[in-house]
Structure 1
Amino acid sequence: MKLSTQLLAATAICAASSAGAVDLEVMHWWTSGGEAAAVSKLAEAWNATGNTWVDGAIAGGGDTARPVMVSRIIGGDPPAAFQFNHGRQAEELIDAGLLLDITDVAEAQGWKDIVNPPSLLESCTVDGKIYCAPINIHSWNWMWLSGPAYEKAGIEMPTDWNSFMESAEALRAAGVTPLAMGGQSWQQAGAFNNVMTIAIAGKDAWLSVMQDKNAETVMGPEYTAAFEAYAAARELSTGINVQDWNQATNALINGEGGAQIMGDWAQGEFAVAGMTAGEDYGCLPGLGMGAYLQTGGDAFYFPVNDDPEITAGQKELAAMLLSPEVQVAFNSVKGSLPVRGDVDLTTVNECTQKGLDLLANGQTLPASEQLIAPDTITQLNDLMTEFWNTPSMTAAEVQQQYADIIAQAE
């Protein structure tokens, strides 16, 4: 017989309060201004239960944070909870028996009925058991436009990739770098793997490569067009030398950069800067060309712990993360969409509404992390950042090397 949500929460709270509440260390890589504001909503909600959120933020993004988290876990000093992306990143930890099975929490709250799309919960499920709590839907598939930059250039913000390319000359003439791009490989590779290929090569070609691991598609005309567009984008990014993604977003905020290809988490930075969607900044899902929403995002996992009070606290936290109140409070600040399909978001801005419309219309795709093994993603990231930073490397050369990696992918 399933526990009700209320009984589950009460049981966890009693277990925690019997020891005077619990302190849970939560590790994540949300350190930019907008991200920190969103995390504060989770911490406030958790502290309001009488427990204590011990923040374990790691700067530098997921590529920096994930090895630290894994080292802590396999080294016998795990945090109580940690952030990973939806998908295959936790497979080895689950296989090693190091992560807590939270199926009882998911069943008590009816996650299978409320999590939308179902692929998010499927990504948390291994051999019928659920190991993570999905917290949001984050999509890579956006181009963000700077209102101040286009005002400086004296032209309207573009409506798609082609009109953006046409606007580049006017932006340059106004002293604006057309495309702001950070220096980390996940940014440079993500713009290609998750945005340009879907928008330019098309959904079917992208699925053929990412889902079916078809190297012949990589060498076909659809992907050739995407590689050539990526080479053109490389030429538009000279002039802004920053490392972190939020520094590139800040270039749009202050009018130094015209556009950025980045996930919807960029909206958190615009919000912190007091900017209004549709006025101070624009957004083009899918580069304005056949938009699809990748329904990836973030989830929290919970390492196995010998202390029953900590385990009870972990399950209480997992339940809280999917509560309607927390889903709205966190995602409204983060720029992401809630994983619950039953919450009220009637007051969201026009860019978030575009994402909701795509979700409602079924114009969705899985995230790359849900289809490709982490080792393959690392290889693709390394290749595409090499290309981005090597002007002498041609589109044809990177295309062949990309195909070679896909041919060997799991």
Structure 2
Amino acid sequence: MKSVKSLLAASTMLAAATAVNAADVEVTHWWTSGGEAAAVAEFAKAFEEKTDHKWVDGAIAGSGGTARPIMISRITGGDPMGATQFNHGRQAEELVEAGLMRDLTEIAEKEGWKDVVKPSSLLDSCTLDGKIYCVPVNIHSQQWLWLSHKAFADAGVDVPTNWEEFVAAAPALEEAGKIPLAMGQQPWQTTLAFQVLLTALAGPDAYTRIFGDKDAEFAGGEELAKVFEAAAKAREMSAKSNIQEWNQATSMVINGEAGGQIMGDWAQGEFQVAGQTAGEDYTCLPGLGVNEVIQTGGDAFYFPVVDDEEVAAAQLELASVMMSPDTQVAFNLKKGSLPVRGDVDLEAANDCMRKGLDILAKGNIIQAPDQLMSADSLTQVNDLFVEFFNSPDMSAEDAQKRFADLIANAD
């Protein structure tokens, strides 16, 4: 039997070893709104409860377009963080090819990620030359129209069930002093609105032909003309928004100042923080109530190559925690997104999340633009729609012609 002295000595050595192995892991991301902050706190909580390491929050205010250049500059400049957010797709492709991102294949195979990540395209987006370089953490679809029950009640009209009814209700909303469509002026918001209109009004196949196949002739054709006309109508309905951030637009819907917002399911986190209930205070229409489809975009975390052995070991533990079933549920319930695991219990899901899960189960899915088109090409598309939504004099016809030219040269 060991003596008390030897047991104490062993305990001291174990504590010392634990202290040496514990690491501070800086995690950079652009989740700074109320709902986003509540969601990312679930990651931090799980990481610190399940490991001996510390989550050092590296939130960068603004959108991904603001944060990504900062993140990339740090990694290429030799000052890598422990983990960093990117969207599913090709945003980190060049960093991976340069050998600056950690290969996670071993832990992915050990934990059977390929067996549980649904749809498989999410993990495919993390894979380059057969190796897995990131952890997909959610499925975010941008194909939603969020509607304020208060705004429509004040205007004396029924809550719309589709885009056509929403457009028809715009005059009543304006007469009641409401802004029909709330929209911020961040570049990605205007492009998002166009992509949602495209998928809803022309159909998922049309979206894929343009962003996936780069079919410039189709992009400039008659079928897409109606999408550009709808975009011009959206421009008119949102003309008096006078806001910048997406969550400011969501707040206008929450407060009943605006009738609706075209925005991804991350808006749901803002409604939750505000204490509102889906189906009672607000309505969510996937695919604008026309073509119900889920876009398999979302967020993933990459782990830059670091020299610190303790941080390197902690990176693998963080990857495992992010993919764990209980963390997936806790995070996504707060974020408003869907989990990437197909084997988790979401009994607590609200009305909007259940709509998303049902669409996903039916297989009505499309890939996100980041999975289909390079970052440079998407930036050019973004710039066009920023100009279009801020230039009432630009006709739908002129915008479509320029769009077709961009698609012809996209990669």
Paired residues for 1:3-402 under 5 Å? 17=18, 19-48=20-49, 49-193=51-195, 195-402=196-403
Moved more, 263-272 or 48-57: 48-57
Aligned partner letter, 1:288: G
The answer for unaligned runs of 5 or more in structure 2 is 1-13
SS in 1 for 2:198: helix
Please give the alpha-carbon distance, in whole angstroms, between the structure 1 residues aligned to 2:239 and 2:192: 18
TM-score by length of 1: 0.95
Aligned partner letter, 1:22: A
SS in 2 for 1:189: helix
Q: 1:306: Cα distance to partner?
A: 1.5
**In the TM superposition, what whole-angstrom CA distance separates every residue of 1:62-92 from its partner, at most 9, and x where no partner exists?**
0000000000001100100000000000011
SS in 2 for 1:380: helix
**In the TM superposition, what whole-angstrom CA distance separates every residue of 1:125-170 from its partner, at most 9, and x where no partner exists?**
0000000000000000000001111111122110000000111111
2:91/2:375 contact within 8 Å kept: yes
Aligned partner letter, 1:170: A
**In the TM superposition, what whole-angstrom CA distance separates every residue of 1:234-260 from its partner, at most 9, and x where no partner exists?**
000122211100000000011111000
Q: 1:197: Cα distance to partner?
A: 0.5
Moved more, 196-205 or 334-343: 196-205
Aligned partner letter, 2:105: T
Aligned partner letter, 2:270: E
Please give the alpha-carbon distance, in whole angstroms, between the structure 1 residues aligned to 2:328 and 2:300: 12
2:118/2:342 contact within 8 Å kept: yes
SS in 2 for 1:19: helix
Q: 1:285: Cα distance to partner?
A: 0.4
SS in 1 for 2:99: coil
Aligned partner letter, 2:30: W
SS in 1 for 2:20: coil
Query: For residue 7 of structure 1, what is the aligned residue in structure 2?
Result: none
Aligned partner letter, 1:219: G
Moved more, 179-188 or 149-158: 149-158
Whichever of the two has the greater Rg, that structure is: 2
SS in 2 for 1:24: strand
**In the TM superposition, what whole-angstrom CA distance separates every residue of 1:288-340 from its partner, at most 9, and x where no partner exists?**
00111001100000000122221110011001101001000000000000000
Please give the alpha-carbon distance, in whole angstroms, between the structure 1 residues aligned to 2:327 and 2:313: 19
The answer for unaligned runs of 5 or more in structure 1 is 1-12
Aligned partner letter, 1:404: D
Please give the alpha-carbon distance, in whole angstroms, between the structure 1 residues aligned to 2:131 and 2:17: 24
Q: 1:50: Cα distance to partner?
A: 2.2
Q: 1:19: Cα distance to partner?
A: 1.4
2:21/2:310 contact within 8 Å kept: no
**In the TM superposition, what whole-angstrom CA distance separates every residue of 1:31-59 from its partner, at most 9, and x where no partner exists?**
00000000110111111122100000001
1:16/1:309 contact within 8 Å kept: no
Please give the alpha-carbon distance, in whole angstroms, between the structure 2 residues aligned to 1:16 and 1:324: 29
Q: 1:203: Cα distance to partner?
A: 1.4
1:199/1:287 contact within 8 Å kept: yes
Q: CA RMSD in A?
A: 1.3
**In the TM superposition, what whole-angstrom CA distance separates every residue of 1:2-53 from its partner, at most 9, and x where no partner exists?**
xxxxxxxxxxx99993615111000000000000000110111111122100
May I ask how many residue pairs the two structures share in their alignment?
A: 397
Moved more, 393-402 or 342-351: 342-351
Please give the alpha-carbon distance, in whole angstroms, between the structure 2 residues aligned to 1:197 and 1:86: 21
Please give the alpha-carbon distance, in whole angstroms, between the structure 1 residues aligned to 2:220 and 2:15: 59
Aligned partner letter, 1:273: A
Q: 1:395: Cα distance to partner?
A: 0.3
Please give the alpha-carbon distance, in whole angstroms, between the structure 2 residues aligned to 1:14 and 1:166: 68
**In the TM superposition, what whole-angstrom CA distance separates every residue of 1:357-398 from its partner, at most 9, and x where no partner exists?**
000000001101100000000000000110000000000001
Please give the alpha-carbon distance, in whole angstroms, between the structure 1 residues aligned to 2:180 and 2:41: 34
**In the TM superposition, what whole-angstrom CA distance separates every residue of 1:92-136 from its partner, at most 9, and x where no partner exists?**
101110000000110011000000000000000000000000000
Query: For residue 6 of structure 1, what is the aligned residue in structure 2?
Result: none
2:293/2:364 contact within 8 Å kept: yes
Query: For residue 8 of structure 2, what is the aligned residue in structure 1?
Result: none
Moved over 4 A (4+): 13-16
Query: For residue 9 of structure 1, what is the aligned residue in structure 2?
Result: none
Aligned partner letter, 1:172: E
Please give the alpha-carbon distance, in whole angstroms, between the structure 2 residues aligned to 1:171 and 1:398: 28
TM-score by length of 2: 0.95
Please give the alpha-carbon distance, in whole angstroms, between the structure 2 residues aligned to 1:147 and 1:24: 43
Please give the alpha-carbon distance, in whole angstroms, between the structure 1 residues aligned to 2:322 and 2:335: 14
**In the TM superposition, what whole-angstrom CA distance separates every residue of 1:207-233 from its partner, at most 9, and x where no partner exists?**
111111010111122211100100011
1:16/1:22 contact within 8 Å kept: no
